[in-house]
């Protein structure tokens, strides 16, 4: 049975609406009209936006989020190359509808109605660069994006990946405070990559499957602020002093390991995308109401005297519903904690001062 030209036009318009809901604005007579459409079966999921979706982290992150059955609508935003990434990702036969947004003028439309916003936007590390070197560029990017969030989806859960996380999370908090929308439960710095690395490296030493290992990593997300609590590893085990030194150093410098191995060709993009999706999935399961969703994240905290700190948190319908205490630390970890706090205090203040100056 042949389709009418009208039916065919409507179907093509739906597809076009998925890919580029802003720019297909044609006249009725003899041409296609854009139709808003949601993929069949996708209505029960959540609306997720990725800001920085065309970057080294953003592209694999977008691909993996498109595969997540908890996502019904996926908005991809960047200042360059979003149409191509959107077209590419949209061909995947999963339930989420993908829509692309290009440039500052479309930021607000990308954010309206979103329930989870993931921010990998910013410049990557290069050989010889510290996370602090990234600050001036990425700080301005995060400020602009968070101003859009405050205006368009103030109740969204925000997963902040942009480095240096120890400073960008305080920047985001200050932006939200100025807008009167700050909810400490809904702003989470993503430190999951430190946990993923810790699980992997510890599993190598123990001869276990990494999926069976759980290493709490507290503090922050840069160098000595990354503190793996090897005394609290599950399953319970013990390490020699040499193993503790090796593991702690490798976990703290995992990012540098990748940057140097890529020799100027990039940073930890693929493992970061994997970790970001793992954390985003935990947030979505929390939003769905699943019980016992616990992950490490850098959040507003009273675990220490610092205003922000990474530790285990329980995720729920409102974001962070419980912040776990550090638990018993051995002497090595107590010493590491003091070093981490000193460095963290400086990074946090740098972020706060960027907005308050």
Residue 58, annotated ligand binder? yes
Beta bridge partners of 310: 219, 298
Residue 68, annotated ligand binder? no
- Specify whether 221 is catalytic: yes
- CA–CA separation, 227 and 223 (whole Å): 9
Contacts with 227 (C-beta within 8 Å, 6 or more apart), sequence order:
217, 218, 219, 248, 333, 336, 337, 340
Residue 197, annotated ligand binder? yes
Residue 65, annotated ligand binder? no
Residue 141, annotated ligand binder? no
Residue 162, annotated ligand binder? yes
Task: Please measure the distance between the N-terminal and C-terminal CA atoms of the chain and give it in whole angstroms.
Answer: 68
Residue 114, annotated ligand binder? no
CA angle 222, 298, 199 (to 5 degrees): 70
**114 C-beta neighbours (distance < 10 Å), count:** 24
Residue 53, annotated ligand binder? yes
- Annotated catalytic residue, options 18, 91, 221, 324: 221
Residue 57, annotated ligand binder? yes
- CA–CA separation, 279 and 294 (whole Å): 10
Residue 92, annotated ligand binder? no
Residues 71, 281: contact at Cβ < 8 Å?
Answer: no
DSSP 234: B
| CA 154 to chain centroid | 17
Residue 286, annotated ligand binder? no
Radius of gyration for the alpha carbons in the chain, expressed in angstroms and rounded: 21
Contacts with 297 (C-beta within 8 Å, 6 or more apart), sequence order:
188, 189, 190, 191, 192, 279, 310, 313, 320
- Binding site: which residues? 52-58, 78, 125, 131, 138, 161-163, 197, 272
- Binding site for substrate: which residues? 125, 131, 163, 197
- Active site members: 221
- Binding site for NAD(+): which residues? 52-58, 78, 138, 161-163, 272
């Amino acid at each position: 049975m042949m389709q009418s030209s009208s039916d065919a036009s409507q179907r093509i318009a739906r597809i076009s609406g998925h890919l580029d809901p802003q720019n297909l604005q044609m006249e009725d007579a003899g041409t296609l009209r854009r139709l808003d459409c949601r993929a069949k079966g996708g209505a029960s999921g959540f609306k997720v936006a990725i800001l920085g979706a065309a970057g080294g982290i953003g592209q694999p992150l977008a691909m993996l989020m498109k595969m997540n059955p908890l996502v019904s609508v996926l908005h991809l935003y960047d200042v360059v190359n979003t149409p191509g990434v959107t077209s590419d990702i949209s061909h995947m036969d999963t339930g989420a509808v993908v829509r692309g947004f290009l440039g500052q003028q479309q930021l607000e439309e990308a954010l309206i109605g979103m329930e989870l916003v993931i921010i990998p936007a910013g410049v990557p590390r290069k050989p010889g660069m510290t996370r602090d070197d990234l600050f001036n560029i990425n700080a301005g990017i995060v400020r602009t994006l968070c101003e859009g969030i405050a205006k368009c989806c103030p109740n969204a859960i925000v997963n902040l990946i942009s480095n240096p996380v120890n400073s960008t999370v305080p920047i985001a908090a200050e932006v939200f405070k100025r807008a009167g929308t700050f909810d400490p439960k809904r702003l989470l710095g993503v430190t999951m990559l430190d946990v993923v690395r810790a699980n992997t490296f510890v599993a190598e030493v123990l001869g276990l499957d990494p999926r069976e290992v759980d290493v709490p990593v507290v503090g922050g997300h840069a160098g000595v602020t990354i503190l793996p609590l090897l005394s609290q590893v599950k399953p319970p085990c013990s390490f020699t002093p040499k193993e503790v030194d090796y593991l702690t150093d490798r976990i703290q410098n995992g990012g540098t390991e990748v940057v140097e191995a890529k020799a100027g060709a990039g940073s930890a993009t693929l493992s970061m995308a994997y970790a970001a999706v793992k954390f985003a999935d935990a947030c979505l399961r929390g939003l769905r109401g699943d019980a016992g969703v616990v992950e490490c994240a850098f959040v507003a905290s009273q675990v220490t005297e610092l205003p922000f700190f990474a530790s285990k948190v329980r995720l729920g319908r409102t974001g962070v519903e419980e912040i776990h205490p550090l638990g018993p630390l051995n002497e090595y970890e107590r010493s590491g904690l003091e070093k981490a706090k000193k460095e963290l205090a400086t990074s946090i203040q740098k972020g706060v001062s960027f907005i308050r100056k």
